[in-house]
Amino acid sequence: MKTFSYDYIVLGSGVAGLRSAVELSEYGETALITKAAIGESSSEYAQGGVAVVMSDDDDIYLHFEDTIKAGDGLCDRDAVFTLVDEGARYIKELITFGAKFDMHGGVLDFTKEAAHSVNRIIHAKGDATGHEIVKTLKEEVSRKNSVHRFANVFAVDIILRDNKVTGLLALDGQTGEEMIFNTKAIVLATGGAGQLFKRTTNPAVATGDGIAISFRAGASQKDLEFYQFHPTALTLENAPAFLLSESMRGEGGVLRNKNGEKFCHKYHPKGDLAPRDVVSRAIFFEMQKTDSAFVYLDMTSLKNDFVKNRFPKIYSTCLTYGLDITSEYIPVSPAAHYYMGGVQTDLWGRTTVEGLYAAGETACTGVHGANRLASNSLLEGVVFGGRSAKAAIVDTKHMSVPENKPEKAGGIDLSDRYNEYLQNIQEIMWENVSVVRNFNSLTKALGFFNKNLEPILNKRPLNQKTGEIINMLYVGKLMSLAAVSREGSRGAHYRDDYPEKTGENFHITFDYGKFNPIIRR
């Protein structure tokens, strides 16, 4: 077993993890650990842009109100204010690092997305914003000699002593050898959990690892019923659920049913520019009404050159599947996209476990409430990635790195059944815990997770595939429990047996690593 010692550990290398590593690098030796290649994350594939107040036509109070409205009453107002107030400073910092956002007439080119009251979305290379930010932060990290990068290393569990973080148990992804990392603090930035669903825009790495390992360490989890389904993912046979940015509708694209009729206005006054949970349900119900597996996104009224230049990646990707989006309707349907819930944190990324911090999609800062406002996620990643690192630095200033001794535990290997487990989890979640839910569907899902979790509880995975399956089983059960406990509809959580919006603004949490949902008003 290999043993390492570092002042700080960052798990995950998307926007939040990379930004944390940049901050931590100035104050100690930092291990940046990721289970795939450095930078492989949902951040890398984020298209739409970054919502940030940097225009003379905008102010932070407008951004604040738009975020609060989208969150459907469940946002933490202090967290939202922190995001919109500090956002511009962090984005300007990215520009000094070398990030190149699209310009028009010598100034930043702002566009609009659903539920934003003004044009405040900046973007890079049209629809490659996430890639540009990740590239910039990777280059900044590479200039830091105190950041030690560990690719293809899978985090198994957090090591604790007296409810304090002392280290991390991990596996070498190539050899399967166990590794112990001694540390003063861990920042979780492992992203979301889209791989739980049959249709998702997320990359293969999004298996809910941060939520699962922090839950097992006793950290509180919050709002786990709220998973956002992006309305428009490509729906073609033999093609992945490729994300078609909300900016496409912001620029004038419209949704049509299989008969070619516009329909979004029937579900919300803002029509195609309604909050994305509303649009996802509108598509879901329209598909049911017309007995179709998809609806159409129509960009044909826009000039060909504009579409090609504004959405070059989307245009070229669709073209590889024989679809010219400048002249043809695009078949789309919802897909799992973003987790609003996650590891509960304060405004500085602190979890309920001392020495454990969380940022980005794996954290629940309270910014998103019941429904994320479009393009707030990349901003949240850089702002709270930086803030969580700052908190870790202050909290551990006078501490030394502890030492851990390896402990023996029963191992389990499910790798030969990985595809079977993955397919079953994705089918169960897509059919029972997705865009529309109810008591019967959720209890069916819970029955599946209870049956499959029982034999593996307290077993240590012997390889990454087994670890991912275990983590997905944990998160699937937690999400189902939270969803069945919220007997009402709110934001992205919609139950057709309780279609009315819940009147109370309560949150559902899980404390102390136990499967007991707690309602907190």
Question: Are the beta carbons of 248 and 276 closer than 8 angstroms?
Answer: no
Residue 246 has which token pair?
């909300």
Residue 199: closest CA among 434, 477, 362, 495? 434
Residue 10 and residue 3: Cα distance in Å, rounded?
17
DSSP 3-state of 309? helix
Q: Quick one: how far is CA 126 from the chain centroid?
A: 21
Phi, psi (5° rounding) for residue 43?
Answer: -55, -40
Residue whose entry in the numeric block shows the structure tokens 């060909």: 304
Instruction: Kindly tell me the burial class for residue 172, based on how many C-beta atoms sit within 10 Å of its own C-beta (0-12, 13-18, 19 or more).
Output: middle
Residues 6+ apart with CB under 8 A from 296: 255, 256, 257, 258, 260, 329, 330, 331, 332
Give bridge partners of residue 489 from the DSSP assignment.
501
Q: Quick one: how far is CA 493 from the chain centroid?
A: 16
Element containing residue 392 per DSSP (H, E): helix 377-395
DSSP 3-state of 3? strand
Residue 276 and residue 255: Cα distance in Å, rounded?
13
Start-to-end Cα distance in the chain: 46
Give bridge partners of residue 167 from the DSSP assignment.
159, 182
Q: Is 276 a catalytic residue?
A: yes
CB atoms within 10 A of CB 268: 16
Residue 69 and residue 67: Cα distance in Å, rounded?
5
Residue 6 and residue 167: Cα distance in Å, rounded?
9
Residue 347 and residue 367: Cα distance in Å, rounded?
10
Catalytic option among 19, 249, 276, 460: 276
Q: Quick one: how far is CA 120 from the chain centroid?
A: 21
Residue 238 φ/ψ region, left for φ over 0, alpha for ψ in the -120 to 50 degree band, beta for the rest: left
C-alpha gyration radius of the chain: 22
Question: Are the beta carbons of 254 and 286 closer than 8 angstroms?
Answer: no
Residue 439 and residue 473: Cα distance in Å, rounded?
19
Residue 517 has which token pair?
């949902």
Residue 361 and residue 343: Cα distance in Å, rounded?
9
Residue 371 and residue 380: Cα distance in Å, rounded?
14
Give bridge partners of residue 180 from the DSSP assignment.
3, 169
Residue 329 has which token pair?
């309707």
Which residues have a catalytic role annotated?
276
